[in-house]
Amino acid sequence: MNKNIYKERRESLSSLIPNNSAIIIPGADNRYRNADSAYAFRQESSFYYLSGFCEASSVMLLVNNNNKINSIIFVPEKDKIKEIWDGYRAGPEGVVSDYLFDLAFNNSDLDKEIPALIQGKQKLFYSFGKDQEFDKKVINWTNKANSIERHSKSIDMVDSTSLIGNLRLIKDNHEIELLKKSCEISADSHIAIMKSIEPGNTEQEIEAKYLYEFAKRGSRFAAYTPIVAGGENACILHYVENSQTLRDGELILVDAGGEYEMYASDITRTFPVNGKFTKEQLEIYNVVYEANQKAISAVIEGNNIMEPQKISEKVIVSGLVNLGILKGDPDELYNAGAHKEFYMHKVGHWLGLDVHDSGDYMEDGDFMSFKPGMVTTVEPGIYISSSSNVDEKWKGIGIRIEDDILVTESGNLNLTEKVPSDPKEIEALMS
């Protein structure tokens, strides 16, 4: 792998902070599900973005020293016994030679080294509020640095969340290739399962099939816990119990995406368990499908993130009025937010190393404008639970269609288009 990519990203980030300032970025620690059973380690996304380094409990310090950039990293120390049990460690020497850092220490030296390294700096950037224990360490190191020299100006602490988030918001070519591959793996997995699903399968069995299809194509982990929701379970937006049996005549909503080389994909398809939509299911589906298609068309440079949002809401209001589910004038219903009973979430979110990726949604007091290199999901839905005050025939229908869209110089690219969302194509695939 070309480690220069990460070095260049560190330099880009350092060039955004003032002279004589520093930025601290902690990596992830190991986490435990219970007792000493650890979850598979997943590096923190910003740390990975800037290093490509995947050892737990590492910390990065980038220093802009009168424009001489220093990248410093603290890593687990070499330890023969631990390496026999848990695997290779690069150690400080390895991380300098293999990951192109300027300087490295054992992570056991953090308390000793950081105060001296940040002493006299004008500003210290750090993303507060994600880990209270680490927040406390940063404050203690800063206090210690300030106390080294009594007659010095104290260090300003500045939140770095937007700084790093907005750097990650515009994907470079390396990231775009990985996102394309991640989306392709997930798309092929959805297609394989849509072809094989049948009444009597359980949600849990389908979840397992998705994980298998992802893994065999190179995505060992899902980017998030899959939502496999038969029938009315689709109306629970974050349904992850995945414990029921799929019944003939019902729809199934699957929101599942794999993670490929750390990059997420995020696809939702809703399709009939028996391969054929009922009249009512198809009527609601067509409204969501139109909202999805029209909102995707609005994900272009120059539009802001509220364009696809508004379009999807307006299509859904009109569709619900045409079906008699909402009654009244579509514009008035839209202004009153009447559709929010059935479409209560946002149309999308940034996608990248994290499924809900970093990056602001506002800029200069307005909504963020789309720019080439951004990747967003487009995922309108209609959810009619049995407690809704509507005709019985609509109750229990929950539909979402979600695609991943890359903004390009000439428009956009739907990275997940390969999985059919046209209802005729879905029925043909499942027949």
Question: At 118, is the secondary structure helix, strand, or coil?
Answer: helix
Q: Are 382 and 358 in contact (CB under 8 A)?
A: no
Q: Which two tokens stand for residue 321?
A: 């009025």
Rounded distance between C-alpha atoms, residue 212 and residue 141, angstroms: 45
Q: Which of 55, 207, 379, 403 is catalytic?
A: 379
Binding mask 289-318 for ligand GLY (x = CB under 6 A): ------------------------------
Does the annotation mark 36 as catalytic? yes
Q: Is 255 in the site for ligand GLY (CB under 6 A)?
A: yes
Binding track over 238-277 against Mn ion, x by CB under 5 A: -----------------x----------x-----------
Q: Which is nearer to ligand GLY, 134 or 221 (CB)?
A: 221
Contact 374, 169 (CB under 8 A): yes
Measure the CA–CA gap between 411 and 371, rounded to whole angstroms: 10
Catalytic residue among 349, 354, 357, 404: 349
Please name every residue paired with 404 in a beta bridge, in sequence order, or none if there are none: 377
Output 326 or 401, the one with its CB closest to ligand GLY.
401
Minimum gap (Å) between residue 223 Cβ and ligand GLY: 8
Distance CA 208, CA 253 (A): 15
Contact between 6 and ligand GLY per CB under 6 A? no
Decide: is 203 part of the binding site for ligand GLY (CB under 6 A). Answer: no
CB of 377 to Mn ion, least distance (A): 4
Dihedral sign, Cα of residue 132, residue 138, residue 139, residue 140: positive
Binding mask 325-354 for ligand GLY (x = CB under 6 A): ------------------------x-----
User: Which of these is catalytic: 184, 383, 403, 404?
Assistant: 383
Active site residue 102: no
Can residue 228 be called a binding residue for ligand GLY (CB under 6 A)?
Answer: no
* 227: three-class secondary structure by DSSP: strand
Where does 202-242 show beta strands of DSSP type E?
221-222, 227-230
* Closest separation in Å from C-beta 340 to Mn ion: 18
Nearest Cα residue to 251 out of 386, 389, 400, 416: 400
Find the catalytic residue in 55, 266, 354, 404: 266
Q: Which is nearer to ligand GLY, 171 or 269 (CB)?
A: 269
How far apart are CB 131 and Mn ion at their closest, in Å? Answer: 25
| Active-site position among 77, 102, 345, 427 | 345
On whether the CB atoms of residues 93 and 103 are closer than 8 A, the answer is no
Pairing label, strands 227-230, 251-256 = antiparallel
Question: Which residues are CB-neighbours of 72 under 8 A, at least 6 positions away?
Answer: 60, 61, 62, 63, 101, 102, 103, 104, 105, 117
224 makes contact, choosing from Mn ion, ligand GLY, none, with CB < 5 to 8 Å by partner type, with ligand GLY
- Please indicate whether residue 151 is annotated as part of the active site: no
- Measured CA to CA, the distance from residue 333 to residue 336 in angstroms comes to 5
Residues engaged in binding Mn ion (CB under 5 A): 255, 266, 377, 402
Residues engaged in binding ligand GLY (CB under 6 A): 224, 255, 266, 349, 355, 379, 402
Q: Which residues are catalytic?
A: 36, 238, 255, 266, 345, 349, 356, 379, 383, 400, 402
